[in-house]
Structure 1
Amino acid sequence: MVHRLPYLDYLRSIAILMVLLSHSVLSYGPDYWIFPLQTGGVGVDLFFVLSGWLIGNQLFKELKRNKTIDLKRFWLRRWLRTLPAYYAVLCFSIIYLNVTNEIFEFPFSYLIFIQNYQFPLSFFTISWSLCVEEQFYLFIAPFLLFSRKLNKHIKLNLILFLLILPSIFRYFELYGHHDETHVAWDCCIMGVLLAFIKHNYESFWDRLIKVNKVLIYVSFLGFLTVIASKYTDNFWIQTPSRFWLAIAFGSWVLWANTVKSKVKFIDNKVFVKLGSYIATRSYAMYLIHPEVLALCKQLFNHIPFPVYFILALLIVLAVSEMLYRLIELPFMNARENFEITRSTPRTPINANS
């Protein structure tokens, strides 16, 4: 049984609730007092840092244990984790569009996760982030495998270069859309960077933990300041670039892995179970929430926003539970039935890996 880290579950739960809140605002319609809450859309970037951290940890542990990375096993396990639910929702969307539209062109790009290079997306618009994730999986494991014999200082510099590379592409406008992978993976690489430091620079990791005791408050207050500033008529504070979000959310992930809570209610069993529940369903929630919000817009658009959001959340939780139970969980469990995808002995990690 996988041992879960509750604070990582809390972060994953916060990320999906931020995204749901942001998209609920867009669905509900223009309203001055809720408009700044759209900033919660950066919850996707928090997901990216978490993903980079969890995947990086797994791969660095495998490198230490086996001196190599089984690419086939890694990719198959990732695909059995992410693809079944994605294709289930995609099939539903395609069938619905095919029935309700006289002219419908089959979206082949959606089958191989390259639609984030074919904007604008006509449907399933959140799938751009899933493309970033899948393309990241295809890149990061071979990169770490083929660089395994390099000096750790050289590898650190290479990872740092990968971290700043999207900023370079953005500066020179070498992209067609800001959600293309090569300009959107800052946060994925930040997660890998943190995992690399933990596994290769223990003394620096310890110093980083001490520095983060201050940085976590700065990043959290800075995030709240960005939201609060949007309630002013002449706000000058903009939503940070993905590079700065990577640093801010990186501090959150570092905190979640090292904090020793002194606030009893946070460690309450009810909160821990709730965090675990939402975290394990977060992928399903992410996949289906746009369709649920489209339904809510038709049914509940004239009620107060807090009620609208709560109803949307409850429906999302109900539908995501079915998707998780019927699709995600069986395929995750099926990985243990085959030698090629069976998990190897591992130290405790977090979450749905």
Structure 2
Amino acid sequence: MSRLPGLDLLRAIAIVWVMFFHAQGAGLGSPWSPMSQFGWMGVDLFFALSGYLIGWQLLRPLSQGRLPDFKDFYLRRALRVLPAFWAVLALYLLWPAFRERPGLEQGWQFFTFTLNLLIDYEHNKAFSHAWSLCVEEHFYLLFPLLAIALTRRPALWKGAGATLALVLAGIALRAWVWNDLDDNANHWVERIYYPTWMRLDGLLFGVALAALRAYRPRGWDAMMRRSGWLALAGVAVLALAIFLSQQRLGFVASVFGFPVVSLAMALLVAAGASEQRWTGHLRVPGAAWLAAASFSLYLIHKGAFALMAGAYGEVLETRPLLAFFAYAGAALAGGAALHYLIERPFLRWRERLIRRRAQAPAASEAAAA
């Protein structure tokens, strides 16, 4: 799938929003709180983008009667995620000053992507933002099997029914767990915010977009011609989500907020995916680079904030404008280093491996002939 400026812009917005959210905890200060208060929603935007892009990658061949190349799929995912992730994990394990909080979970939880299910958030907050990567990895492992099962005899009612059932199940599960919670915010994070089964809405709505594109191309094209209205609807639903999430740990936000946020993000992703209208071609200077480096920035930004706070935190505490540039510069420098030294070389190696795998059957056929 060719890159669209509209989707790059959304990815850039997501990573900047998330970094604002985490920077306040690092010491950025209250003047930036309107930007940072709802920055956690940037993760839901990442989920919607991932659901759409990965969903399209797998559902497109299935809609044409072909099985996806699963070796290719998992090779791409592994070389996309693991090198940069392991590099940052090594920093957290070996360099205590890099940790934004003193406590760090054991390494095996990161290697097995079970951090979001087993974390003791009250005592081990360092590198806790890897929880979303765990959700993504669980999605990569399970969705291909689910996609094959649902598309053996594809029908609109199957997809719509599965989507509705999962959304309602998530609402019911969060309501049940919330009613059993105490007032400890750390327990809310552990039992409602982090677990994979609680955070499927964004991925689910993104996959629904991919399924619509793959199996109802005429309906998709008609929707793409109205992408401006999709963007407007996305902004309106996002405003509703922000209203519902004013009390982030409350019942309404915990139970109903996540699907509303995810619906808003899916509408924005649909608008950004339009190849026919301005929403898919909207360019903002710097957005393409932020989008390309967003994974590296996500992994390293809290560690970069920790280093900046440890070295200059007291000086920056009373200088909000200087603090903004200091923390932003630290995150961008760290993200750029990780992106260019680790992420991009492995992505290039991945493309070479994929090309070799694609050329191997042709070479074998030529030799046999």
Same-fold call, TM > 0.5? yes
- AA of the residue aligned to 2:303: E
The counterpart of 1:337, out of the listed 333, 352, 361, is: 352
Distance 1:210 1:171, change over 3 A: farther
Partner of 1:52: 51
- AA of the residue aligned to 1:113: F
CA distance in 2, matches of 1:161, 1:215: 24
Partner of 1:257: 273
Partner of 1:347: none
CA distance in 2, matches of 1:294, 1:189: 34
Distance 1:106 1:151, change over 3 A: closer
Partner of 1:168: 172
Per-residue Cα deviation, 1:3-49 (whole angstroms, up to 9, x for no partner): 32001000000000000111112222663772563211210000000
Partner of 2:207: 192
Partner of 1:286: 298
Partner of 1:348: none
50-59 vs 331-340, greater mean Cα deviation: 331-340
- AA of the residue aligned to 1:69: P
Distance 1:250 1:183, change over 3 A: same
Deviation at 1:160, TM superposition (A): 3.8
Partner of 2:129: 126
The counterpart of 2:323, out of the listed 292, 301, 308, is: 308
Percentage identity across aligned positions?
28
The counterpart of 1:146, out of the listed 149, 171, 178, is: 149
CA distance in 2, matches of 1:24, 1:207: 41
**Matching of residues 21-170 of structure 1 within 5 Å:** 21-28=20-27, 31=30, 34=33, 37-65=36-64, 67-97=66-96, 106-121=106-121, 122=124, 123-156=126-159, 157-170=161-174
Normalized per residue, the structure richer in helix is 2
Deviation at 1:229, TM superposition (A): 10
Aligned residues: 335
Partner of 2:249: none
Identify the structure with bigger relative contact order (alpha carbons < 8 Å, sequence gap 6+). 1
Distance 1:161 1:210, change over 3 A: farther
Distance 1:142 1:314, change over 3 A: same
Counterpart contact for 1:159–1:193, Cα < 8 Å: yes
- AA of the residue aligned to 1:172: W
Deviation at 1:211, TM superposition (A): 6.7
Alignment gaps of 5+ in structure 2: 179-189, 247-251, 360-369
Structure 2 residue matching 1:40: 3-state secondary structure: coil
Counterpart contact for 1:13–1:279, Cα < 8 Å: yes
Counterpart contact for 1:77–1:341, Cα < 8 Å: no
Counterpart contact for 1:216–1:252, Cα < 8 Å: yes
51-60 vs 71-80, greater mean Cα deviation: 71-80
CA distance in 2, matches of 1:138, 1:207: 32
Cα RMSD after superposing both structures: 3.5
Deviation at 1:63, TM superposition (A): 2.2
